[in-house]
Structure 1
Amino acid sequence: MTPLQVPAKTLQVPTADISPEMQKFIAAPLNPGWTFHPKTGEEWRAMADKIAAGVVPGLPAMQERMHVKVESSTIDGVRVNIVTPDDIPEQNRDKVIVHVHGGCYVYFPGASGTTEAIMMAGFGHYKVIAVDYRMPPEAYFPAALDDAMTVYKSVLKTTAPKNVGIIGTSAGGALTLEMVVKAKQDGLPMPGAIAPGTPMSDVTKTGDSFYTNEFVDNVLVSPTGFCDDAAAFYAHGHDMKDPLLSPVYADMTGFPPAILTTGTRDQLLSNTVRVHRKLRRAGVVADLNVYEGESHAQYQFDDRVPETKEAFGEIAAFFGSYLGK
């Protein structure tokens, strides 16, 4: 088929129905790290540590705003951070949310990977177990999934499956879906509900918005940018179309209720939309929340932004509707 030729154009920062705080993220210049193409795991880790050093100092104030405490621990040998709200309502006290962080499988080690878990615990008033899964150069595919499944299986020993939720964004969104795929493969019980945010559900770069939002998404920027390299590096030669790396290709029959979140400028908008349609075609309850103007994962960049409170409010309400049912 003949490709569509699109003339060069200038995009204004959208302002309608967008908070001034979010407008600042939307108006930000392209991520300067999008052209980072390291060749070794050590180089990836050095960049991850540099990014983490910019995140960690802000965590104490964030924890205070969210009224949560964070405790580092291990579960069956897997590193975790357990996030507990100061106030857990009675209906949530038997519920647990397992969190898998984003970062293209290479970024946000240790405490730096807890920001979304802190927001989930703070806005949703759930206990959250954040999995600090192994990343290159420590380990490669399927280490992240293995670690997440180890934690999930441990949680099932003390918590009814219907009371367990799973949440993650970007690579964490993919891992959320991959955990369900793996649970199906291994005959494990399904969680009660899942919240895959803008999931890296197809690392073969298939999907319209990979290209329509190229250089529009100011976070991922391009399908040939750092995140593509990172995913391939983590895959370590494995088939990129394997549903345990690209879960959009999985059979989603029998999946738990899911809430998906993305933005109109998100390079992974199509990844999110395709998962939503696949879930709906499989007869699964699935909500799709698309935020105006936002690039990749910007709905969870800052807990003080109104859209962040709104997004996590939607996720918390969704978990409230389906966990324990």
Structure 2
Amino acid sequence: MTERPSGANEVEDPMTEKHAGIRLPPRLLPFPRSISPEAGAALRRLVGEDGTPLNARHAMPPPEDHDAWRLLKAAADAQYAVAVKGLAGILRASARTMRIGESTIHVATPETPERTDCAYIDLHGGALVLGGGEACKAGARMQADQHGVVCYGVDYRMPPDHPYPAALDDCLAAYRHVLAHHAPANIVIGGRSAGGNLAVAMLLRGRDEGLPMPAAMVLLSPEVDLTESGDSFQVNRLADVVLPGSLMANNLLYAHGADLAHPYLSPLFGDLRGLPRAFIQSGTRDLFLSNAVRLHRTLRRSGVPAELHVFEAMPHGGFMGNTPEDRELADEVSRFVRSSWGAPA
């Protein structure tokens, strides 16, 4: 008779536990030697002396506690403000803010535009709750500098005060505005994390409403599955020092009772035929790696040209600094965007 592992749950079927998954022994996940010293240092800075990712010490409020979310947003805005001040003297593009209905858009213009007929739409990250305001404006200026074209940074409304579909409405309003000033084949839409979700969801909705597609989309670690059904949500839990655990509380707050599997919330599950060519990025330690891998395969099966770039040991959002890997990623994105201008939608 086989002895059951100590502490195992008692079940009637002896095969149930065996087939539930893979039992991993406790272990220390070492910092990899396969990445640059700069990237290794970035990982170390995000881990405490006890080996626990610093970000794992902060739990998100429950979806129904709106006051706690407002306090969290205020604290995050203060941190973003410090980060934006650190960019003083680095960003060269100018920016002005405009309103389109209820949508706020930061229009960033490079000092010396490479092309005046092209436009980049930037949808910021922040787990669908954070990252607006001055951080969004700074992001638009960064994209304008990088690509040498006017950039429209969409400062979309967010929960708890503005749940779904407010953000999607704002992104679509911004896209309609840009379409009125630029040919579709000269527009690229980029989104990081939550912004990647909104980029694909907005194009699905825009297609459904009869809008033309842009030239391309750049999706950096896109959050395209709010149900969190992918393999990496388990495999990379805590291995991702930037995003060490589930964002389900954020997702439920954003959805406000809507079905998380709806394509406008989780565009991975939509009909992706007819979408523009895509650049998708992730890392082997990114909690959202499965999002990128599954989206790439779904786009390919749908007849959409798509590049997938996965970086060694990279956590969610990159290595947060001036590492060789971050520079290589930026170069790849710039190449893709420049090759997309004028491409057929």
Deviates more, 1:97-106 or 1:233-242: 97-106
1:18 Cα deviation from its structure 2 partner: 2.2
What does residue 32 of structure 2 align with? 14
Contact between 2:61 and 2:68, CA under 8 Å: does it hold in 1?
A: no
* CA deviation profile, 1:197-220 (whole Å, cap 9, x unmatched): 111111111011000001111122
C-alpha RMSD of the superposition: 1.7
TM-score by length of 2: 0.87
What does residue 76 of structure 2 align with? 51
Does 1:298 pair with 2:322? no
| 2:154 corresponds to which of 111, 120, 131 | 131
* CA deviation profile, 1:72-122 (whole Å, cap 9, x unmatched): 222344112122221211xx3211111111111111121123444333222
User: Which 4+ runs in 1 deviate beyond 4 A?
Assistant: none
What does residue 75 of structure 1 align with? 100
Q: 1:64 is paired with a residue of what secondary structure?
A: coil
Q: 1:62 is paired with a residue of what secondary structure?
A: coil
What does residue 254 of structure 1 align with? 274
Distance 1:240 1:272 in 2: 18
Distance 2:325 2:250 in 1: 28
Cα distance, 1:314–1:93 mapped onto 2, change above 3 Å: same
Unpaired runs of at least 5, structure 2: 1-18, 48-52
| 1:95 corresponds to which of 118, 122, 140 | 118
Does 1:4 pair with 2:28? no
Distance 1:100 1:126 in 2: 16
Q: Which has the higher contact order (CA 8 A, sep 6+)?
A: 1
Contact between 1:163 and 1:323, CA under 8 Å: does it hold in 2?
A: yes
Cα distance, 1:150–1:321 mapped onto 2, change above 3 Å: same
Does 1:64 pair with 2:89? yes
TM-score by length of 1: 0.92
What does residue 142 of structure 1 align with? 165
Q: 2:89 is paired with a residue of what secondary structure?
A: helix
* CA deviation profile, 1:223-280 (whole Å, cap 9, x unmatched): 2xxx210111110010000000111001111110100111110010001110001011
Distance 2:186 2:201 in 1: 19
What does residue 275 of structure 1 align with? 295
1:146-185 paired onto structure 2 within 5 Å: 146-185=169-208
Contact between 1:68 and 1:85, CA under 8 Å: does it hold in 2?
A: yes
What does residue 226 of structure 2 align with? 203
What does residue 323 of structure 1 align with? 341
What does residue 211 of structure 2 align with? 188
Unpaired runs of at least 5, structure 1: none
Larger fraction in helix = 1
Aligned residues: 317
Distance 2:109 2:216 in 1: 20
Cα distance, 1:63–1:154 mapped onto 2, change above 3 Å: farther
Contact between 2:160 and 2:253, CA under 8 Å: does it hold in 1?
A: no
